[in-house]
Amino acid sequence: RGYVKTNPYHSSAHVADVAQATHLLLSWASNRHPQALTAQEVMSGVFAAAIHDYQHPGFNNQFLIAVEHPVALRYNDRNVLENHHVAAAFNAMLDGTQEDPFKHLSEDQFTSLRRMVIKMVLATDNQNHSAQLSLLKTKMTRKDFPSTKGDDKQLLLNIILHAADISNPTRPLECYLKWVPRVMEEFFRQGDLEKQKHLPVSPFFDRDTTAVSKCQLGFIDVLVHPLYLALGQCVPEVNTECLPQITRNRAHYEGRRTVTRRMSNDKGATEGRRNSPFSPFTSPFTEAAKLFTPTTAGLRKRMTSIFGFRRTSATTEGTEDKSPKDTSPKEAAP
């Protein structure tokens, strides 16, 4: 429970993918730096990967902030979804309805694990990407990084989970191409709702104008390649296994961009159009409530109270708000 099956991208499949990538990166890193990553750190990393997108609604932080969503207000517009993911996951785990998976840990061990997990999940917010990458580059100027210091361990864990979360371009091309239409369709669904609510459409979220190849090239050049290049300096397997595949996948989309430019005068050449082969999900949701298919009555109540939309936009002042109303209690049931 807790992962929305109808999300094209942020579903349990994405979480399983990230958990696998996290475990692999942690295995490489712990073999190279056993002093920095003990069994408890590895367990914390895999657990953080399993919950890092818990109850993701299929919209990003900027959208929730723009509509003044209750979750954005609760977390003061800072790491909105990431704060919710980790808080909701621990609440679900410790609400007494199921056995505590960490019941055999001491209080000190659990406190340490929880602290590490919270920091790891918050670090997956792309808004923190530049700061985390800059700190990693600074730390690596020291010969003893990563050491047994808590700050070193935490930074390496943060970087590994973040790298796993954006690891699609490190996969074989056939696998990568299965993820791209999913993430783009989720972008486009948000763009559709932004248009409906008279909000500015986020970059690369307009299905009628977005070139998928340009979007993916930017994703690789700005986020993925710089992060893996830095991580490869302390985890050499990243240099031999991940970076060459990133280069090959980038070449694929560079080739697509060249073809798209040649077709630019042809009607319907834009890759992001509704009938594009990149968009197998051809029926975007028009109501936020349709995004959620809870498996239990309790989860339905929680989803409704947390993710119900209350307003359209400040630009529609004076008009009737026809978005679904949040009539559930303000505090979700456990």
**151 assigned ligand-binding residue:** no
Query: Helices 107-122 and 39-51: crossing angle, nearest 10°?
Result: 50
Q: Are 251 and 259 in contact (CB under 8 A)?
A: no
**52 assigned ligand-binding residue:** yes
**44 assigned ligand-binding residue:** no
* Tokens encoding 147: 């050491």
Distance CA 154, CA 138 (A): 15
* Known catalytic membership, residue 10: yes
**95 assigned ligand-binding residue:** no
**216 assigned ligand-binding residue:** yes
Tokens 């001491």, located at residue: 106
**305 assigned ligand-binding residue:** no
* Tokens encoding 323: 């978005």
Q: Are 294 and 303 in contact (CB under 8 A)?
A: yes
**14 assigned ligand-binding residue:** yes
Query: Helices 150-165 and 107-122: crossing angle, nearest 10°?
Result: 50
* Tokens encoding 14: 């994405």
Please tell me what DSSP assigns to residue 197.
T
Q: Are 202 and 60 in contact (CB under 8 A)?
A: yes
* CA 212 from centre of chain: 18
**198 assigned ligand-binding residue:** no
Distance CA 120, CA 155 (A): 8
**112 assigned ligand-binding residue:** no
From the candidates 10, 56, 69, 225, give the one annotated as an active-site residue: 10
Q: Are 60 and 190 in contact (CB under 8 A)?
A: yes
Distance CA 82, CA 92 (A): 15
Q: Which residues are catalytic?
A: 10
- Residue numbers in the known binding site are 10-14, 52-53, 165, 216
- Residue numbers in the known binding site for Zn(2+) are 14, 52-53, 165
